[in-house]
Amino acid sequence: MIMAMKRNMGCVKFFAMTVFLLLSVTMGTRAQVAGQDTLAVGDAAEVADSLPAVRKRVGIVLAGGGAKGMAHIGVLKVLERAGIPIDLIAGTSMGSIIGGLYSIGWNAAVMDSIVRKQDWMFLLTDKEHYYSQNLFHRERQNTYLLTRSYTAGQKNLSERGGIIRGTNLAKLFNRLTTGYTDSLDFNRLPIPFACVATNIVDNTEYDFHSGVLAEAMRASMAIPGAFTPVRKGDMVLVDGGLRNNYPADVARSMGADYIIGVTVQSPPKTADDLVSGAGILGQIIDVNCKNKYAANLAITDIAIRVNTEGYSVAGFSPAAIDSLIRRGEEEAMKHWDEIIALKRKLGIGEDYRPARLSPKPEATVPVDFAVKEAATRPPHDLVVGSVGVRFDTEEMVALQLNGVYRSARLPVDFSATLRLGRRVMAGALASWMPHKSAKVELGYTFRHNDIDICNAGHNDYKVVYNHHRANLTLAGINIRNLVADLSVRWDYYNYTQLLISRKMSPGDITLTDDHYFSYHANVHYDSENNGLFPTRGARFVAEYAYVTDNLAHYNGHAGFSELSALWRMSFPITKQLTLQPMLYGRLLFGSEIPDVRRNMIGGLWFGHYLEQQMPFAGLGRIEATDNQFVACRLKAQAQLTTNNFVLFKIVAAQHGDRLRNLLDHGPMMGYQLGYYYRTMFGPVGAALGYSSKADRPNFYINIGFEF
């Protein structure tokens, strides 16, 4: 259920507003997945008096306007209350979505429930639902900003021409139009319906009077450049607001004698308002459509113009939806006397109430996308490309690119990853999957690391080195919430630069090029309901490694062992408050532990740049390197609104050179208070922390997903 972008005088400011939509759509409602909520349509209302044998027909016209079109629902509530018989509906973009659903029986009250239950941030992407993915793909979704797939050797014209294919919107439309999914004459719907699209091949208007209802609605709201167009024969169809954002003329051609129209456009911009390229372009489009908009208003009997000032075409927050529906209802009530007068003209008694329509019984289903599809090979060779971008005060700017090639004939995937930033990474991986839940992998990774080691907030030394790794996963399991594998690795460290502070002498640290052979066993379990801000579920990670330099020993002695583990659980205390205790640590055992394998304590992320990096609240950079580290943390997560979160963390840790003296000193304490805003581009937030280790405050800013 999405809508097109249009403003003012009846046209969408498509090209101007496309970027705005993608940036601001993150005001979406919280994912209240209606897996357990069934939408009811209510009982049929009684008809107080009969209709005249012959009467004139009433048409409803619903304009485009993106999220502002939610006001249509409020207007329809008033028309139902007044008992106005609706004989036909014409709409554009959001008006086509509201009108199309209403024409098959979804009344205003139920549509109010439908729009409030959607996770709009999810709907406006092509991502799989979080619950429908295995653990590997869930983690991938929380890494990359944009993912697109291409079928090798296929034109796939139907999937080109827009950033968003509209996969999830199509699923929603198909679900809600169950029973009307075949091509049909829209005049045969419970309420005859038509909607408007634009054929950009010749810049002409195309009016849907037949076809597949869901496809017609999807075409009418396809914002050029943002959403993939709908192809029908030789036509390439996009948002109807480009040609006719308020299709009163279409309603008239369908046989409407009286027209009740709803518009949600904002007033034209003044000279002082036209200060941006987007604003100027939008105004040009509005002016271009001015004459048709005015002509259609002239044939409207009751024009309900809802004041949507202060709201954007992409504002789908719960507060915005609630306010817009209410504004639509309030504006329609101002026309109550006109509406009742229209009933008299029709020869209908004031007490008349039309029977409520009901959609097909099979359409009354949960609005739930958590449907697990069977894992199968693609019918054709497939290439999947992903892009991730982030900014933080530690890394500044980083870019990560990933490409995956999936063979249709063989159970084999090939992937390559490139990360650019202060720390560079490049890797390639070949995966053989003889079974959908089993895999064998061979990979290579190169990392260029630039690491600052601090003491009390001041740099002790800087080390720059190259890290080469080859790994072979001999037995791997990848199922719903569990990943487990056995692997062997070869690591080579090549040091290129070592800078030490004046407080240290050259002999305090020695780094020499070296290589290691290691054996690994790994288990990763994750049942959390959200990858960024979970409110339920648990996560458990454990890894054991035996490290050598010749497959059996290290420096003539037994090899050394690395054991790391993490456990955390989310407990919802109230609807807004979640407590999350966590235990984590990494322990090293052996007679000789090289410095490059020791724990790096500090930062906000596990293994952000080094797999042995142990985060600690209040430490913005690595402040300690030790063989033994254990910590316990408690996080309180307060969800202020749909996408606004306040996080407080308190953590206590013990670290030392040997396990037996781990508790010789008091615990290292850390505290952090942060605010985060969830967007489709990843979390945006800032955090202020303090730790007893650095004994100074730390400020951190983050924009984008972690990688």
pLDDT the model gives residue 502? 58
Model confidence pLDDT, tens digit, residues 292-329: 888 999 999 999 999 988 887 777 888 889 999 999 99
Mean pLDDT, the chain, integer = 81
pLDDT tens-place string over residues 587-603: 999 988 888 888 888 88
- The amino acid that residue 445 corresponds to is T
Using only the alpha carbons of the chain, give its radius of gyration: 30
In 533-600, alpha helices (H):
none
pLDDT score of 297: 92
Tally of CB atoms within 10 A around 459? 14
Backbone φ and ψ for 323, nearest 5 degrees, come out as -65, -40
Structure token pair of residue 347: 């020869």
Q: What is the pLDDT of residue 169?
A: 82
Rounded-to-integer distance, Cα 566 and Cα 15, Å: 47
Neighbours of 191 (CB within 10 A): 20
Distance CA 230, CA 448 (A): 45
Burial of 229 (0-12, 13-18, 19+ CB in 10 A): buried
In this structure, what DSSP letter does residue 7 have? B
Q: How far apart are CA 12 and CA 439, in angstroms?
A: 49
The two three-digit tokens of residue 670, written as one number? 């850390």
Q: Show the beta-strand stretches assigned E in 481-556.
A: 482-500, 514-526, 537-548, 553-554
Residue 139: C-alpha distances to residues 43, 134, 446 (Å): 44, 9, 21
Burial 594-625, CB ≥16 within 10 A → b, else e? bebbbbbbbbbebebbbbbbbbbbbbbbbbbb
User: Shortest CA distance to 213 belongs to which of 44, 314, 360?
Assistant: 360
pLDDT tier, 39 (very low <50, low <70, confident <90, very high otherwise)? very low
> Which pLDDT score, from 0 to 100, does residue 90 have?
97
The pairing of strands 58-62 and 412-420 is unpaired
Question: What length does the chain have?
Answer: 707
Report the SS3 class of residue 569: strand
How high is the pLDDT of residue 33?
30
The H-or-E segment that residue 153 falls in is none
The rounded distance, in Å, linking the Cα atoms of 2 and 316 is: 10
Residue type present at position 706 = E
Q: Tens digit of pLDDT for each residue in 529-560?
A: 887 899 999 999 999 999 999 999 998 889 99
pLDDT at 369: 46
Burial environment of residue 301 by CB neighbours within 10 A (0 to 12, 13 to 18, 19 or more): middle
71 neighbors 62 (Cβ within 8 angstroms): no
Express each pLDDT in 433-461 by its tens digit: 887 777 889 999 999 988 888 776 677 77
670 vs 651: CA distance, rounded Å: 5
Query: Do residues 93 and 349 touch, judged by C-beta distance below 8 A?
Result: no
Examine the pLDDT at 13 and tell me if it is beyond 70.
Answer: no
Mind listing the pLDDT tens digit for each residue in 573-587?
998 999 999 999 999
pLDDT digits (tens, 9 = 90+) for 263-303: 987 766 667 666 555 455 455 555 666 668 889 999 999 99
193 contacts 100 by C-beta, under 8 angstroms: yes
Phi, psi of 126 (to 5 degrees): -110, 15
